[in-house]
Amino acid sequence: MGELQQQREPLVDSYLAAVLSGDRVTALVLMREALAAGIPLPLLYQDVLQPALYEIGRRWERGQIDVATEHLATAITRSVMDQCVSIVKPLPSGPPTILATCMSHELHELGLRMVADSLELDGWNVLYLGANMPLDPIVALAVQYRVAGVIVSITLGKQARPVYELAQALRQSPIGATVKLLVGGQPFHRISGLWRQVGADGTAPDAIGAVEWVRSQVPLVREPPLPVMARWDAVLTTLDQNRALLLGLVADQLTYTIPLLAVPPTATDFAREHQRQMYDALASLHDTVQAAWVHEQVLVDEFVWAGRVLTRWGVTSEHVAQMIDCYVSTAQTLRPWEPEAQRVLEELRDYLHHLARTTFPATEGP
Ligand code: B12
């Protein structure tokens, strides 16, 4: 992404300045803005967070920052990663397919997290164990879930030996004939061929490379990512840019298509009851959408906003489905959508209908 390359260095510098001064909010805002500009999270990990962390390591080594500042910057980065992931990550579905771990006494886990997050964004369901894991429980869990792949991250050179032992243990386990072992981390950058010596099936230099490797080497039927979220970014950006126009059009359209909208909120007890139901329904929709897409903030905001307007007008909960149709069809007419965006919006509508059906009790009209 050329644009990111141009922005990369200033972004690394700003991010670094923020985390080194303990400014978590600015660090998060920088990443959120980059995500909103359409830069995929794995690329942000690779081109911004990783260079910033490496630079922190260099400064700490040279005595330019103390250990407390290094810990602070790392803790902020960890939290920024958690929040960014909750913005973009679809909920994994289906059984775990990949186990991600570090070995005993390896405390560096952010690289592993980046790899695991990137795999989950690609639709793989990852059992994430993190730092400092003893060998036996790793193997036991891998066997219990019959995972198709194990990924191990090491940062300290002395961790090569425990990885070798893990490789041997996995080969002798009941999943030994099928499980693939992918290893990575800085020692593998420095020593070419080390991955073979530890008995792994492969290595990759970074999280994006890890996803490519897993795609090509792990032969299994995997659950696809939630259909809408996987391709939602571009559509979301456009909807966001057109928010006022979109919602105005939806409101106009609804006024004609839903007769109840003409009922003033305080006109009858019915209206008040429907107002309450509508509010509950929208609150449920809000929660369910948030749970499903964790962060689908803009989408959720649209519904809450529209919901408030509709509530004031006294709409029944069963009109939520119509609201969804209006929303989607209006969004589709807003601009010459590409076929892919059209499909995404249709999937969104189907998914929201499903949510509406499973979340809201049917209500009687007046
Ligand atoms: C943060 C940090 C810590 C934190 C870690 C916290 C955490 N939750 O992770 C803490 C404070 C615990 C720590 C402790 C130590 N640290 Co430290 N640490 C770092 C620092 C600054 C950043 C690490 C990091 O997150 N890097 C960013 C990630 C994203 O990069 P990455 O791991 O390389 O991952 C990428 C790729 O390698 C690849 N990848 C990684 N894993 C995998 C796995 C697979 C399967 C694949 C395919 C790819 C892959 O993809 C990732 C994303 O692109 C580094 C500096 C550095 N150069 O990394 C020093 C650094 C690694 N630490 C160092 C040292 C010396 C230590 C300590 C020994 C210090 C001490 N005396 O206590 C201890 C050791 C603790 C232990 N037993 O593990 C040295 C290591 C020197 C060496 N060559 O051995 C470094 C390089 C600092 C330095 N310049 O001297 N550290």
Q: Where are the domains of the chain?
A: 1-88, 92-225, 227-359
Closest CA to 179 of 154, 212, 151: 151
Confidence (pLDDT) at 188: 95
Between CA 70 and CA 242 the distance in angstroms is 42
**Range 40-54 burial, b when 16+ CB lie within 10 A, else e:** bbbbbbbbbbbbbbe
Strand-pair partners of 130: 101
Does the beta carbon of 284 lie inside 6 Å of ligand 1?
Answer: no
DSSP letter, residue 102: E
Report the DSSP beta bridge partners of residue 126. Answer: 98
Structure tokens at 22: 């303990």
β-bridge pairing 126-133 and 180-184: unpaired
Q: Which fold has domain 1-88?
A: 1.10.1240
Does the Cβ of 116 fall within 6 Å of ligand 1?
Answer: no
d(CA 226, CA 333): 24
- Calculate how far, in angstroms, residue 176's C-alpha sits from the geometric centre of ligand 1: 29
- DSSP of 14-36, one letter per residue? HHHHHHHTT-HHHHHHHHHHHHH
> Does the pTM exceed 0.75?
no
CA–centroid distance, 108 to ligand 1, in Å, is: 5
State the pLDDT at residue 213: 95
CA-nearest residue, atom 26 of ligand 1: 53
Atom of ligand 1 nearest to the CA of 202: 47
CATH superfamily of 92-225: Cobalamin-binding domain (3.40.50.280)
Q: How far is the CA of 111 from the centre of ligand 1 (A)?
A: 8
Tokens for 143?
Answer: 């066997």
Nearby residues of 279 by Cβ (< 8 Å), 6 or more positions away: 307, 311
Residue nearest to atom 80 of ligand 1 (CA): 156
Closest CA to 342 of 258, 238, 253: 238
Q: Which of 64, 78, 155 to mutate to test the pocket of ligand 1 (most atoms within 8 A of CB)?
A: 155
Q: Which amino acid is located at 250 in the chain? A: V
Check pocket membership of 43 for ligand 1, CB cut-off 6 A: no
Q: Is the CB of 105 under 6 A from ligand 1?
A: yes
Q: Is the C-beta atom of 158 inside 6 A of ligand 1?
A: no
Could you tell me if the CB of 108 is within 6 A of ligand 1? yes
Cα distance between residue 324 and residue 358, in whole Å? 15
What is the rounded distance in angstroms from the CA atom of residue 35 to the CA atom of residue 236? Answer: 11
pLDDT of residue 34: 87
130 residue type, one letter: G
Long-range contacts of 58-67 (CB under 8 A, 24+ apart): 65/20
Along the 366 residues of the chain, how does pLDDT read in single tens digits?
Answer: 444 555 677 899 999 999 999 999 999 999 988 887 778 889 999 999 999 999 999 999 999 999 999 999 999 999 999 888 877 765 555 666 899 999 999 999 999 999 999 998 887 889 999 999 999 999 999 998 889 999 999 999 999 999 999 999 999 999 999 899 999 999 999 998 999 999 999 999 999 999 999 988 886 544 443 333 344 444 445 555 555 555 555 555 544 444 444 444 444 444 445 444 444 444 444 444 444 333 344 454 555 555 554 544 555 545 656 666 666 666 555 544 455 555 655 666 666 566 555 544 343 333
Which residue has a Cα nearest atom 79 of ligand 1?
Answer: 57
The atom number, within ligand 1, closest to the CA of 74 reads 1
What's the start-to-end Cα distance of the chain, in Å? 55
CB of 81 sitting under 6 A from ligand 1 = no
CA distances (Å), 303 to each of 56, 200, 246, 250, 324, in order?
A: 42, 49, 12, 11, 9
How many other C-beta atoms can be found within 10 angstroms of the C-beta atom of residue 97? 23
Q: Would you put residue 105 in left (φ > 0), alpha (ψ -120 to 50) or beta?
A: left
CA 107 to ligand 1: nearest atom: 78
Burial 267-288 (b: 16+ CB within 10 A, else e): eeeebeebbebbbebbebbbeb
Helices (H), the chain: 2-20, 24-36, 41-44, 50-61, 67-88, 110-121, 135-144, 160-172, 186-190, 194-197, 207-217, 227-230, 233-241, 243-257, 269-293, 297-313, 319-333, 339-359
Q: Whose CA is nearest to atom 68 of ligand 1?
A: 156
Atom of ligand 1 nearest to the CA of 151: 45
Q: 247 Cβ partners below 8 Å, 6+ apart?
A: 302, 305, 306
155 lines ligand 1 (CB under 6 A): yes
Q: Token match 């969004």: residue? A: 331
Shortest CA distance to 258 belongs to which of 304, 311, 315? 315
At 156, is the secondary structure helix, strand, or coil? coil
Write down the pLDDT at residue 130: 96
